[in-house]
Structure 1
């Protein structure tokens, strides 16, 4: 493991209004003891068995996906050697069943890894949010649960802002800013271990011979280890590798986009841009870059002052009606 700078941190006692505090953040931040009031955290501080028993009381048998990997992989959920498949298995399961299996693994330090990832809390553990409350934003927010023993999730980014709360066990987060993408040796976009493209570099054991540019990225890395009650804010599009290191770990994620729900997913726009622009002649791409800057990225430009108001069309500020018009126009063009 390379040496990384510590992520900035504060204590929850310093925050008077969490929603306003998070709304102003643009950089990663660890918030110690943010969830110390949770019963799940209180149980975790008593021991792994108590933490597991508490969650088991709330879990149901709704169908979920679980993942398991042989102990030889040391919890690293990744591709196989030639990227033609994955090094782990997926199973039809339930949270209650996953927890029952984890009970059996608590006493085995060399056990196969097992986890359930990114599942809506109220779907698999009704009542969890009521017992363990946290209000993080006024935007639409997805609250999800990750449960398992030891696991190492390769560096990836999320399209949304993320507040990740350690409710049991211990997790180490290693973060890199978006600008380091060229130094992270990102794998396929359409075939991924969990939906998001990942860095092929193992941050815990980087191969600088195979991935020499990662040395530059490593100089920008930040890291922190969280224990029960701690939380970390990860801004959208920041790369992060997450390692859970205890026999029983629970993570609660709050994801939200600082945008209305009617706006489209920027990743979809990037895919379409790859299809339409990526392989054009260099001169053409430069011209399209200028047009993108004009219509999309230059916030200070007024695109409509020279146009009569009734004719602003999709150049106007995008409300829900304008968003529908853009989607309709896009569908018409895609269907030609």
Structure 2
């Protein structure tokens, strides 16, 4: 995996070279001078004291799992729920609990995950900025002990900044999805679908293609102050390695499209096409290749620009009209019991409101 020292890193390099290359990159020392990173270097209590300065008083969601799960937040045995429970507490109470757990020999897994800085730590981002991104890109805090986040992908670009503790990232290109054995779309720990494989003890009888995925993986171990660029749709498994860990990440979109509903399009395509006879699926594969992926060149290039419609660049007004038409076609059917279909019905309502 490519590594860059912070002194050689700048916005032009990042946006003009790294992001278009679509490969993860480690930036060593990028946030070592952040005030929060310096506080964390003094120990868990100093980090907690620094973060408490920004406690806005709102209850934040926490996760706790028994020590027996070895920090791995996952499904329960029946896959009808999860192996952790949630509760809400103030940021200060959560930090006090984390510090107390750090003194125990076999503590339960405990974490605050994806807490928006502007909501739960107001003022934090003003002191800990990432100059290569605009201030409008919001910071999120991931705080906990030695917990593991299952492999998953995000529909955004991501810079993950390690502030306290070490973190090990195992990354996979989107093409390795089959070897990661994704779980259900209908029930997920936090929205994105996650791999079913326990990376510490992989069951290769149940998940034989995982070995193939691992052969294609990249591994990055971050020290405090380091950062990692994770491209859009790249799978990443994240293991925190210390008794107190803090990661700050930034998600943003750079696709250039204001009409992106990739996850919803995937769900709809699965429902509409996946179970058709093979000849029909082949026909749709050809049409997707032509119209969506440009396998035959730019679709609609033979048409006058003003008449290309969705085959070319469309206006905000035309996009609103198309969303309304999609919503109209999705909405009339009775509400189905299947959770994925329910999500698509909710999408239809959102599309309609965006007019």
- Category of TM-score, reference length = shorter chain: over 0.9
Query: Does the alignment pair 1:304 with 2:292?
Result: no
1:15 matched residue in structure 2: 9
Following superposition of structure 1 onto structure 2, how do residues 149-228 of structure 1 map, counting pairs within 5 Å? 149-228=145-224
- The partner residue of 1:294 within 287, 290, 302 is 290
SS of 1:58's equivalent in the other structure is coil
Measure, in 2, the Cα distance between the counterparts of 1:86 and 1:160: 25
Q: Which moved more, 1:193-202 or 1:10-19?
A: 10-19
How many pairs are equivalent?
330
2:24 matched residue in structure 1: 28
Measure, in 2, the Cα distance between the counterparts of 1:211 and 1:303: 40
Say whether the 8 Å CA contact 1:59–1:95 is kept in structure 2: yes
SS of 1:79's equivalent in the other structure is coil
- Structure 2 residue ranges without an equivalent (≥5): 333-355
Measure, in 1, the Cα distance between the counterparts of 2:48 and 2:82: 28
Measure, in 1, the Cα distance between the counterparts of 2:326 and 2:148: 39
SS of 2:162's equivalent in the other structure is strand
1:50 matched residue in structure 2: 46
Question: 1:312: how far off?
Answer: 2.9
1:237 matched residue in structure 2: 233
- The partner residue of 1:256 within 252, 259, 263 is 252
Query: Does the alignment pair 1:39 with 2:49?
Result: no
Say whether the 8 Å CA contact 1:23–1:137 is kept in structure 2: no
- The partner residue of 2:267 within 271, 279, 286 is 271
Question: 1:96: how far off?
Answer: 2.1
- The partner residue of 1:135 within 113, 131, 154 is 131
Question: 1:60: how far off?
Answer: 2.3
- The partner residue of 1:77 within 57, 73, 76 is 73
2:324 matched residue in structure 1: 328
The normalised TM-score by structure 2 is: 0.88
| 1:186-233, Cα deviation, whole Å (9 max, x unpaired) | 111110112111111111221212211111111112112112110001
The normalised TM-score by structure 1 is: 0.92
SS of 1:329's equivalent in the other structure is helix
Question: 1:281: how far off?
Answer: 0.8
Say whether the 8 Å CA contact 2:118–2:138 is kept in structure 1: no
Measure, in 2, the Cα distance between the counterparts of 1:330 and 1:163: 34
Say whether the 8 Å CA contact 1:22–1:136 is kept in structure 2: no
- Structure 1 residue ranges without an equivalent (≥5): 1-6
Say whether the 8 Å CA contact 2:182–2:194 is kept in structure 1: yes
| 1:51-83, Cα deviation, whole Å (9 max, x unpaired) | 222112222221321111111111110011121
Say whether the 8 Å CA contact 1:140–1:256 is kept in structure 2: no
Query: Does the alignment pair 1:112 with 2:108?
Result: yes
Q: Which moved more, 1:135-144 or 1:10-19?
A: 135-144
1:3 matched residue in structure 2: none
- Do the aligned partners of residues 135 and 299 (structure 1) sit closer, same or farther apart at CA in structure 2, a change above 3 Å counting? farther
Measure, in 2, the Cα distance between the counterparts of 1:98 and 1:146: 12
Question: 1:27: how far off?
Answer: 0.4
Measure, in 2, the Cα distance between the counterparts of 1:309 and 1:213: 46
Say whether the 8 Å CA contact 2:116–2:138 is kept in structure 1: yes
SS of 2:41's equivalent in the other structure is helix
Measure, in 2, the Cα distance between the counterparts of 1:24 and 1:215: 29
Say whether the 8 Å CA contact 2:44–2:99 is kept in structure 1: no
Say whether the 8 Å CA contact 1:61–1:97 is kept in structure 2: no
Question: 1:110: how far off?
Answer: 1.1
